[in-house]
Structure 1
Amino acid sequence: MEHLKVEKINVLFVCMGNICRSPTADAVFKHHVRSAGLEHLIHVDSAGTHAYHIGEPPDRRSQQAALKRGYGMQGLRARRVTPEDFSRFRYILAMDHHNLEELQQDCPSQYVDRLGLFLQYGNQWSTHQEVPDPYYGGSHGFERVLDLVENASQGLLRHIFEKELTR
């Protein structure tokens, strides 16, 4: 029996430094993908629009908040968005408008339709379009990021399943 070669759906989460919001989204979405048994079909990564923290692990506070909810970020390291990312990833999801604008400036025109805001897939907090940056705040900010990311992750997975995997 011949096995069909299925092209993976690549998802990239983007924030400014790739140490708080986007690695949180990376870890949470990977968890949902694994739980759904779809890791052979969906590849997840994260990056930043700026090169502030290249090679560094996620912020300790992000890691601690995520770990309390069962999400591990140990293997993640900050990287910057590369020109190849625009052709490689089908979904390039920014955490806020500022980073979306940065992506739009760098994105070749044929890939602009791949860009969006991550929270467009959320359903609980329709008034929120952006994942707030928790870097300069207290622990509550990291919990809020997780709440928003968990919700949007479920919506994104549902969207990918319905629009991409059941065609």
Structure 2
Amino acid sequence: MKPSTPAILFVCTGNICRSPTAHALLLHKAQRAGFAVEVDSAAISDEERGNPPDPRSVAEALRRGIAMPAHRARQVHAADFERFDWLIGMTQQHCAALRRRAPADAASKVRLLSEFADAIGGDVPDPWYGGHQAFIEAFDLIDLGVEGLLAQLRREAA
């Protein structure tokens, strides 16, 4: 990591459910901890480009007292590999797609969210295909991962 403010990009399929949730959670937790971090989110796919976060993700965040930042879905860009310290995928598939797009010297920046929380047990499933319970479960898994990520960032900054 750079000695400056860490920069994290969360990545999922469409950038309307999981990655904006992770973005909101890390901002919320870092602010509460007084820890400076740059955060953004993006998609592997361009199918949702320009769309706001899924209302079900927004509702679950609000239910837990977390406001989603103003956001429109965007696809990962080549410049993201330079700008961000870590690009964190929600699934192995996202990470594989990121590594294929990464310049050779940036592939090591790609991480899986579950690396920061063993309790996740692998991929964070896409809640878009499920009902309300799927969004609750995805939020819980993302929360675990973000908590572990923030702990790691704080250790590295110390």
Residue of structure 2 in register with 1:25 after alignment: 22
Check whether the contact 2:87–2:111 (CA below 8 A) recurs between aligned residues: yes
Normalised by the length of structure 2, the TM-score is: 0.95
Which ranges of 4 or more aligned residues in structure 1 deviate by more than 6 Å?
Answer: none
1:7 maps to amino acid: S
Residue of structure 2 in register with 1:50 after alignment: 45
2:32 maps to amino acid: S
Largest Rg, 1 or 2? 1
- Partner Cα separation in structure 1 for residue 47 and residue 23 of structure 2: 19
Establish whether residue 145 from structure 1 lines up as the match of residue 142 from structure 2: no
Aligned-pair distance for 1:56?
A: 1.2
- Partner Cα separation in structure 2 for residue 110 and residue 61 of structure 1: 37
Which ranges of structure 1 fall in alignment gaps of 5 or more residues? Answer: 1-5
- Partner Cα separation in structure 2 for residue 162 and residue 38 of structure 1: 11
SS at match of 1:14: strand
SS at match of 1:135: helix
SS at match of 2:38: strand
1:78 maps to amino acid: A
Residue of structure 1 in register with 2:62 after alignment: 67
Residue of structure 2 in register with 1:90 after alignment: 85
Query: RMSD in angstroms over aligned alpha carbons?
Result: 1.1
- Partner Cα separation in structure 1 for residue 124 and residue 27 of structure 2: 18
Aligned-pair distance for 1:74?
A: 4.8
Normalised by the length of structure 1, the TM-score is: 0.90
Which ranges of structure 2 fall in alignment gaps of 5 or more residues? Answer: none
Percent identity over the alignment is 37
After superposition, what is the alpha-carbon deviation per residue over 1:113-162, rounded to whole angstroms, capped at 9, x for unaligned? 11010111014x15x21110000111111001111111111110110111
Establish whether residue 16 from structure 1 lines up as the match of residue 13 from structure 2: yes
Higher helix residue share: 2
Aligned-pair distance for 1:49?
A: 0.6
SS at match of 1:55: coil
1:152 maps to amino acid: G
Establish whether residue 114 from structure 1 lines up as the match of residue 115 from structure 2: no
